[in-house]
Chain A
Amino acid sequence: MTMNFYAVRAIYVFEMARTGRTLWQSIVSPVISTSLYFVVFGAAMGANITEIGGIAYGAFIVPGLIMLMLLTQSTANASFGIYFPKFTGTIYELLSAPVSALEIALGYVGAAATKSIILGLIILATSWLFVPLKIAHPFWMLAFLVLTAFTFSIWADGFEKLQFIPMLIITPLTFLGGSFYSINVLPPFWQTVSLFNPVVYLVSGFRWSFYEVADVHVGVSLAVTALFLVACLAAVWWIFRTGYRLKS
């Protein structure tokens, strides 16, 4: 049977409207907090830090900052979008509607990802106010942005603890994933450990698209990111298919 595109659109529009209503939390506050990171790490501390890979520290951390916000916001948005109806009970409608797991995921993840992408672009624009940036590969920059936004929006769907996951998993992974440093500065042992952190590949690939400087080869970054996306898609598909924690 054909897809229920009206449902995908309905969910997407509904979620985007929610973003519109909560514009302040959704867009403005992450921009402010990113600017603060930027002022502290980039301007205040960065002045005393030498260049990394021939790039000024202030400019070096921009991709990392965008990734940090992208990951936390994508997760928070998508998980909120799906689990809030569960808390309020309105999920009955979603469960009783003629929609497949894929359609529900497309609607929610699409909206969360859209929001994250807009957010990423706004942060990028904000960064321009602080440091001179160059984007060597705008297409790949966008590709990483979109891929990451989708991956982490999907990832969020599997978890109920809205604050717990971003705080305990995503934030550490991002900070330790080379957002603010190159993993090449680490001792060899910790470099190897870092390679198990998927965020390393995201940040590295994303940074490459700006400066053509990367911790791991861009092809590997792209492959790992895509693999991660597929794994996350499979997980969310399984959740809706089995009704895990959503249905008794």
Chain B
Amino acid sequence: MQPIISINGLSKTYATGFHALKGIDLEIRRGEIFALLGPNGAGKTTLINIICGIVNLTAGSVTVDGHDIITDYRGARSIIGLVPQELHTDAFESVWATVNFSRGLFGKPKNPAHIEKVLRDLSLWDKKDSKIITLSGGMKRRVLIAKALSHEPDVLFLDEPTAGVDVVLRKGMWQVVRELRASGVTVILTTHYLEEAEEMADRVGVIDKGELVLVEDKAALMRKLGKKQLVLHLQDKLEAIPPALSNYRLSLSEDGRELTYSYDTQSERTGITDLLADLSRGGIRFNDLHTIQSSLEDIFVDLVKSDLVTPDLVTP
């Protein structure tokens, strides 16, 4: 199926000379929830803002459902809903007025029934006549979501939707996003919270210093996440893995002193008991052991922090 968003060679250099995005290539599949992860200043918001038309691109191209974001900006923007990271809201307008304003701005005729449904889904219906300034932060964020959904977009961008939102509300928003996906809306969300990506996303992309360092199905990532390793420090050096242990997923370190067993924590039988019994039977003794779990967090940190420890930083 044709991707709903195609990003090709996208670069952005700000007037200050800051190189925010460096040749991003990315395709967003129709109907998926795509989580864009990355530390602060990685380029997540810049990427979203370019697609939505808030920031001008420096090089490359983006199409949204076949509409180029520059030459056919009307076609592209009219199917996009954006929930910005900051709580930018009007102050004195009512919830009802501001959400209807958004619908009109995006070129749709009035549809009170749709607006009512959006407000009810976001538990804002009883606040529809309240001035926005009187609402709590969590409610304001939901007003922004309502505005983004007012014109029935096919693509919804959520820039850090749950930053500073309490746990209950966060779960509520996840529910709303799931329902949107079920109705066919493609959702792209940025987040610092790995938990959020794990919970919600179909695919995960990691961006760092303006480069896309990883794009993978969450399921594949979770399989890595579900892998665990048992490392045995052997008393005596081994030249090779004994044939009696060839059924186990084992690897031997170069110096022959560490035996590593990979197993799946998700499966019913990890095989650890059998392995230890077989080792004992084969007369292989060990003086220490530890386990390693590679979490999405580790993958993430590895990816984005690997070049942080430069010699400059290490020297006292």
Contact = CB atoms under 8 A, between A and B. Distances in A.
A17 B92 CA distance: 10
B19 interface: no
Interface string B92-113: 1100010011111111110000
Contacts of B93: 14, 17
Given A10-B104, A248-B56, A97 B77 contact: yes
B188 interface: no
A247 B14 CA distance: 11
Contact of A97 (B86, B90, B91, B105): B105
- Interface size range of chain B in the complex: 35 or more
A94 B105 contact: yes
What is the interface of chain A mostly: helix, strand, loop, or mixed?
helix
Given A88-B88, A95-B54, A248 B15 contact: yes
Contacts of B147: 93
Interface in A91-109: 92-100
A87 B92 CA distance: 15
A9 B104 contact: yes
What is the interface of chain B mostly: helix, strand, loop, or mixed?
loop
B53 interface: yes
Interface in A1-32: 1, 4, 6-7, 9-11, 13-14, 17-18, 21
- Chain B CB count within 10 A is highest, among A11, A17, A88, A99, for A99
Contacts, number: 85
B305 interface: no
B105 A7 contact: yes
B89 interface: yes
Interface string B116-158: 0000000000000000000000000000000100000000000
A93 B56 contact: no
- Interface size range of chain A in the complex: 20 to 34
A98 B78 contact: yes
Contacts of A6: 103-109
B84 interface: yes
28 contacts: A1-B74, A4-B107, A6-B103, A6-B108, A7-B105, A7-B106, A10-B104, A11-B104, A13-B101, A14-B101, A17-B93, A21-B92, A88-B91, A90-B88, A90-B90, A92-B88, A93-B82, A93-B102, A95-B52, A96-B80, A98-B76, A98-B78, A99-B105, A99-B107, A100-B74, A247-B54, A247-B55, A248-B56
